[in-house]
Amino acid sequence: MRAELGYCSLLLLLLTIDVWGQQTRPRARPKPPATKKPPKKEPEPKEPTDFPPVIFGPPSSFSDCPRECLCPPSYPNALYCENRNLRKVPVIPPRTHYLYLQNNYIDSVTADAFDNATELKWINLGNNRIRSIEKQVFEKLPNLLHLYAQRNQLKEVPSNLPAGLEQLRLSRNQISKIAPGAFNKMEHLALLDLHHNKISDSNLAKNLFKDLKNLIQLNLAHNILRKMPANIPTSIAQLFLDRNNIEDIPPDYFKDFTKLAFVRLNYNQLSDKGVPKMVFNISTLLDLHLAHNNLNTVPLFNLHLEHLHLNNNNIESINGTEICPSAPSMDPYDLDSMPRLRYLRLDGNHMNPPIPIDVIMCFRHLQSVMI
Ligand SMILES: *[C@@H]1O[C@H](CO)[C@@H](O)[C@H](O)[C@H]1NC(C)=O
Ligand SMILES: *[C@@H]1O[C@H](CO)[C@@H](O)[C@H](O)[C@H]1NC(C)=O
Ligand SMILES: *[C@@H]1O[C@H](CO)[C@@H](O)[C@H](O)[C@H]1NC(C)=O
């Protein structure tokens, strides 16, 4: 306890000195006259020329610890450099496995900082101003598993990504360019998050996802797609496509998926015409989101579906007999064989309560319906 207090006050002292140092640093500005005029107000920092000063870390027992970072003695493989107003990546010590650089002002990532950091497994570069990542960076990082670079200003997917990568987060950038081979050989990639970019149909090359044999989650929400993305790995369990301009789904689109459990298509342009009758009759599907589209009827679904979001469409009625998925044995006393739907949203359509009796008769597991 005492040691911690001592450390804290030392940190405080260092920070105070640093702030004081910044304020008294001479500036290339004419000195104010030595009269007793009130001091001129400092102009607000104007980006990108004037960022707030870099915040230095506490003294470290590691001689290779960058001054801007925290190197906790108990985690020699972690390097914490987040929230320090950094403009560039410090030189990364070779012992680093986990690197935290989020919430800074870094605008490019050059290879030199990673010269000896060949052991890196995780890098978090989220919420910076990165426009470019030199491709030589990744040549030096064969062990990289997680790369997080969400909330930056990237216009394209970085090239030369390591083949062993398991998670890639590039959401909230301005990506509109993806090289056709950007994800080649990435057999271990489980999560690919590209939501909130500027990706259109033509940016997705035909075989872009072909090598992603172990992909579990693909997030392409909040882009400018008009079609369902083609050739998505059939290993996928979670497909998120909310907030695009998708109008239709090809009839056999989900045919070969064997693990698909979560599909989100909220805020698109789907109408009855664009949704083939059987397209969502997928036996693995648990959770289906179709809110904020232009549907007039409830699409058919499988008896394993548990959550269905149909709010804010143009649905006028629901016929429980027509949509009731037939179970292998419709034994009314065998609840396990009954359709599994538990949660149903129908609010924001052209319907009023009560919930039709045939809906209640079919879906015995229903716990919550919003109408
Ligand atoms: C990398 O390691 C070599 C050999 O130990 C050393 O000479 C060089 O200065 C290191 N580079 C950086 C950027 O730390
Ligand atoms: C939906 O698919 C199941 C197989 O998973 C099938 O038995 C069932 O008949 C299909 N539903 C309809 C309405 O065709
Ligand atoms: C629901 O559909 C069934 C079968 O198509 C039909 O017999 C029934 O009249 C419909 N119910 C209502 C309330 O329209």
* Phi, psi torsion values for 118, nearest 5 degrees: -70, -10
Question: Using CA atoms, how far apart are residues 304 and 295, in angstroms rounded to an integer?
Answer: 22
Query: How far, in Å, CA of 185 to CA of 178, rounded?
Result: 15
pLDDT value of position 44: 52
Ligand 1, CB within 6 Å, residue ranges: 91, 115-116
pTM for the full model?
A: 0.84
pLDDT of the residue at 12: 36
The residue to mutate among 279, 286, 302, 303, having the most atoms of ligand 2 within 8 angstroms of its beta carbon, is 302
Tokens of 112: 């030199």
d(CA 293, CA 313): 5
- Quick one: pLDDT at residue 139? 87
State in Å: Cα 250 to ligand 1 middle.
55
Tens-level pLDDT at each residue, the chain (371 residues): 333 433 333 333 333 333 333 333 333 444 444 444 455 555 554 555 677 778 887 877 878 899 999 999 999 999 999 999 999 999 999 999 999 999 999 999 999 989 989 999 999 999 999 999 998 999 889 999 999 999 999 999 999 999 999 999 999 999 999 999 999 999 999 999 999 999 999 999 999 999 999 999 999 999 999 999 999 999 999 999 999 999 999 999 999 999 999 999 999 999 999 999 899 999 999 999 999 999 999 999 999 999 999 999 999 999 988 999 876 555 666 777 789 999 999 999 999 888 899 999 889 899 999 98
CA of 177 to the centre of ligand 2 (A): 39
* Coil/strand/helix, residue 240: strand
What is the three-class DSSP state of 10? Answer: helix
Closest atom of ligand 3 to 319 CA is: 1
